[in-house]
Structure 1
């Protein structure tokens, strides 16, 4: 799994850091730090974190570069 966060769009809501603290952390009020290649075991947490963000700056990709989507709590490659 690969993550890309558009830090120009991120507004520091910190929902990602709350839902996937092993992957996303806030430094200060607005600076987001993240692991661009988190362990696949964290996939469900990462997908929930990406979906929870109101501005949607987080892109989650599989190793083949295809986006990973969350639907009804089950992840799938789309």
Structure 2
């Protein structure tokens, strides 16, 4: 699985961080992706973050 963020849409509101802290982090007012290709055991958390992103800025391939 590979995570992609549409940086034009992302507002760094932190919803994804709350869903998957192992993958996303807020660095001040900027979003960081800690793992662009997280392990399969994090899929459920990542998919929750994708679904709950208010701007639909996160997508997953694979």
Instruction: Return the TM-score normalized by structure 1.
Output: 0.75
**Residues of 2 paired with 1:49 and 1:11: CA distance?**
14
The number of aligned residues is: 61
Question: What CA deviation, in whole Å up to 9, does each residue of 1:3-41 have, x standing for no partner?
Answer: 000112100110000110000000002x11112101111
Higher helix share: 2
Residues 1-40 of structure 1: pairs in structure 2 closer than 5 A: 1-29=1-29, 31-34=30-33, 35-40=35-40
RMSD: 0.7
Taking the aligned partners of 1:2 and 1:44, their CA distance within structure 2 comes to 13
Which 5+ residue runs of structure 2 have no aligned equivalent?
A: none
Q: Which has the higher strand share?
A: 1
Q: Which has the higher contact order (CA 8 A, sep 6+)?
A: 2
Name which one, 1 or 2, has greater alpha-carbon Rg. 1
